A and B are shown apart, each in its own frame.
Chain A
Amino acid sequence: MPPHVTVTDELEILGAHGGAKPPAGSGGGGGDDSRSSGSSGAFPQRIYVTGITIAMGAIFMFFMALVSAFIVRKGLGGDWFPFTMPRILWLDTAILLASSGTLIHARRLFKRGDRQGFRHWWAVTTLLGLLFLIGQLVAWRQMVAAGFYLASNASNSFFYVLTAAHGLHLLGGIAALLFVGWGRLRKMTLATGTEIVSYYWHFLDGLWVFLFLLLLLGR
């Protein structure tokens, strides 16, 4: 036997098997070929879903580090002085929750094939996201006006750090909304695009509710 059997030879032999899974006890896992093979002409779309899921794991750990620092630092006691929660944050929270609702609606329309309705609600979601960010800036102004500066006290510092970190991630979400809604996707299908953006958006929404409660109860 020649030392190097070329790859194409095997594939022909494989063809004779009618594309069945390779013999020799294939142990699952590897290549769920129904999706990975051939048809789409690019990487399987599920990599984008996997990718965003993994990325959310990393973001989650980042925030958990900040949150545990918050809890530990507060637990030291002594110099922890609560601040007055800016009232606008309640409104902001409502806006962000609403944006998740409009996003769900937009995707539902997309799946039904109603492109126009999809774009409409997608735009509404984007606007709500922007509105939320503006609201956060207003909240910062209210904090400053009330004399709660970044370095005044650790409780204030954490307020700014957590809201800023969340805000930056949300800004990324808005960029993704804009890109999927109006940009030109190359390797990704629009269906995948809307899917992963919605996962990310709902994640940031849930994360905000958690952070808001943490700040509200823990400040």
Chain B
Amino acid sequence: MSAHASPIHHSEAPKGWIRHYIFSFDHKIIGTQYILLGLSAVTIGLILSLIFRTHLVWPDAHIWGFANGIVSPEDYLRLITMHGTLMVFFVLTTVPQSGFGNYFLPIQIGAPDMAFPTLNMLSFWTTLLALLVLLSSAFVPGGSAIGGWTAYAPLSAVGQIAGPGQGLGETLWVVSIALFCGGSLMSAINFLGTTIDLRTKGLSLMRMPLTVWGWFITACLALLAFGVLLAACILLLLDRLAQTSFFIPGNLDVSGVVLHHSGGSPLLWQHLFWFFGHPEVYIAILPAMGIISHVLSTFSRKPVFGYKAMVYSLTAIGFLSFAVWGHHMFISGMNPYSALAFSIITLVIGVPSAIKTFNWLGTLWGGKIHFTTAMLFAIGFVSLFVTGGLSGIFLAQPALDLYLHATYYVIGHFHLIMGVAAIFAMFAATYYWFPKMFGRMMNEGLGKLHFWITFIGVYCIFMPMHYLGYAGDARRYSSIESVNYMIPLHPVHFFITISAFVTAGAQLIFYFNFFWSMGHGKPAERNPWHATTLEWAVSTPVPHDNFAGDYPVIYRGPYEYSVPGAADDYIPQHLAPEQVAKAG
């Protein structure tokens, strides 16, 4: 039997530009749409961050688009709220998982598409709608929300009286996040269903590329976490619009208005939010871990060191991530004994992360390292992950968190480990898979220039933030001039802002390289990196249903590089044993 030859329901590519590129059911188009959505969001988020960094250092700088050209304190809070929301939800959650995952998971497991193409399209359009709702909040009376991306109640719950932007702006924020939850849940169902049921013949779980493992575990987390955030958003909306008292306690006097709520609990919002929020951190970083393992192995020309340990540690992180949310709440007034329990579990979750780092180093050890741009970003990721991970050891101890909580130390920590590390994985993924996605190579010289400025730049931005934290500099301050001990920190802020501009400038190289290479890059071979997994077995551009009806069969694990006795230093997963050329 020509095994998997099956006439798939839509083996014909849809006709018409709109069906093909806009309302597409094809996972590759949807993946690309997600990536472009993320690219738009990251661009806006980056520009916003440059504006608030500028404001911190030059408070009187005239900036186009603001009243009188000046960024007011509420504008500053709008900027950081929008920056955080865009980056966490629409970039870190969206691109590594829904973007690259959508594009490559079906190909890597030998499937024609996602299990539920219509649902896939729906989840993209829901996410896009969520983004538009969020952005629209900038244009309503009162402007967008100033409550931070964590939207702590009651600041987020009592409405306009808590500050400008806390009226309609905050409502739109909540609606946007609720929509985003819906889109992510649909997407998670698709990822799980696809991985469970559509793997091709011979692709056992322990032969899946680590990218697929990353996406799979992430989908499990998303499935369990976003439902909780959705529930929390609904309760928050009711508090805001229907005068209920889920999160608003009694006897509040906000801006001279006595509120008629009673008995609600601000901590309840924090518990629900962080029950989602901590898995969310891993939703952002697990796909990145998969991508990095994949790229490191390819360009070290070695199997991933400790493949099974990698899989088990991914799974362990997934499980534990649901039991550590309290470490965001050490100073919230929660029970001090449960704080200790959360602290210990948080330190324990550091163990599988450390295991991954050791195994990445093990993968490099004894390798034959090719410094492609993708590889540079992967190595950069490991360095960032080590740095950002170690600062987490401080924050995991409640006694130390007492001092560091809500200072720039925390900003430095999570930007390195969650923000920049995940962005590095996205860059690695882009440089690595671009030839498959667009049939052309990206320019390696520009890529390397982009890497070096970015790598040095992010360290220059985020390392000094740790020092600001030691000095007690509080985050979310639109000016450091009101606190005497913060005023001497001005030169550090100045250095950070300058570094931010240089680093952001380097991203222009990336934009240019990305769009220019689409049309003018060197044409790519089918398998330019001499890699082993299935995406490199299909032709470029990838046919509409990936394998044109003939599904490959998998004979071995995903990272068979430099196998002794073989002629080539890589053996693709789908090559039958008798086809593997012997050395000599």
Contacts and interface: CB of A to CB of B under 8 A. Distances in A.
Interface of A: 1, 3-5, 7-15, 18-19, 21-24, 26-31, 33, 36-38, 40-44, 46-47, 50-51, 54-55, 57-66, 69, 72-73, 76, 78-80, 150-151, 154, 157, 161, 165, 186-187
B4 to A, nearest CB: 6
Interface in B506-544: 526-527, 530, 537-538
A54 B527 CA distance: 35
Contacts of B227: 58-62, 65
Contacts of A73: 246, 263-265, 268
Contacts of B230: 62, 65
Contact of A38 (B6, B115, B203, B538): B6
A62 B265 CA distance: 19
Contacts, number: 214
Interface in B249-295: 250, 262-265, 268, 271-272, 275
B244 A157 contact: yes
B83 to A, nearest CB: 27
Contacts of B228: 61-62, 64-65
Contacts of B9: 42-43, 186-187
Contacts of A7: 537-538, 547, 550, 552, 574
Given A11-B550, A58-B227, A76 B198 contact: no
A65 B232 contact: yes
A161 B234 CA distance: 9
The 8 closest A-B pairs by CB, nearest first: A79-B263, A62-B227, A27-B204, A1-B581, A65-B231, A30-B203, A22-B202, A61-B227
Given A11-B550, A47-B193, A79-B250, 13 more contacts: A30-B205, A38-B4, A38-B6, A47-B116, A54-B188, A54-B192, A58-B227, A62-B228, A63-B231, A151-B245, A154-B245, A157-B245, A161-B235
Contacts of B238: 150, 157, 161
Contacts of A50: 115, 192-193, 196-197
Interface string B33-77: 000000000000000000000000000000000000000000000
Chain B: number of interface residues, binned into ranges: 35 or more
25 contacts: A1-B581, A4-B526, A11-B5, A14-B3, A18-B1, A22-B202, A27-B204, A29-B205, A33-B3, A36-B201, A37-B6, A38-B3, A42-B6, A50-B192, A54-B189, A57-B223, A58-B185, A61-B224, A61-B225, A65-B232, A69-B232, A69-B268, A150-B242, A154-B263, A161-B234
Interface stretch (B325-333, B489-497, B553-561): B553-561
Contacts of A11: 2-3, 5, 550, 552-553
- The residue in A3, A14, A65, A165 that gathers the most chain B C-beta atoms within 10 A of its C-beta is A65
Nearest to B190: A51
Contacts of B234: 161, 165
B563 interface: no
- The residue in B197, B228, B263, B538 that gathers the most chain A C-beta atoms within 10 A of its C-beta is B197
- The residue in B205, B244, B556 that gathers the most chain A C-beta atoms within 10 A of its C-beta is B244
B567 A1 contact: yes
A43 B4 CA distance: 11
A21 B201 contact: yes
Nearest to A55: B189
- The residue in B5, B6, B526 that gathers the most chain A C-beta atoms within 10 A of its C-beta is B6
Contacts of A76: 263, 265
Contact of B578 (A13, A30, A72): A13
